[in-house]
Amino acid sequence: MSDDVIICHEGSTMDMLMTLMTEQRIRHVPVIEDNVLVGMISIGDVVKARLTELENDKRELLDYVTAR
């Protein structure tokens, strides 16, 4: 645990979180709103969300290519 805790807010995007976690080499980020802890985001949460986005993109592209 470090003295300087890196935080995010509810409006943080997945891209912002991926960049933050990669650059700071951290695996968990507290979510703060109005100086209150409202949750925690883990690298697993970010990876899962990104995989879901990629699967949806893949499905949309396949539907477009096959004219469904």
pLDDT in tens, the chain (68 residues): 667 899 999 999 999 999 999 999 999 999 999 999 999 999 999 999 999 999 999 999 999 999 86
| Structural domains present in the chain | 14-65 (3.10.580.10)
Q: 38, 42, 54: which is closest to 17 by C-alpha? A: 42
Q: Which two tokens stand for residue 11?
A: 């409006």
CB neighbour burial string for 12-35, b if at least 16 within 10 angstroms, e if fewer:
eeeeebeebbeeeeeeebebeeee
User: Is the Cβ–Cβ distance between 9 and 32 less than 8 Å?
Assistant: yes
pTM for this one?
0.76
Return the pLDDT at 68.
Answer: 65
User: Is the Cβ–Cβ distance between 16 and 8 less than 8 Å?
Assistant: yes
Return the pLDDT at 67.
Answer: 82
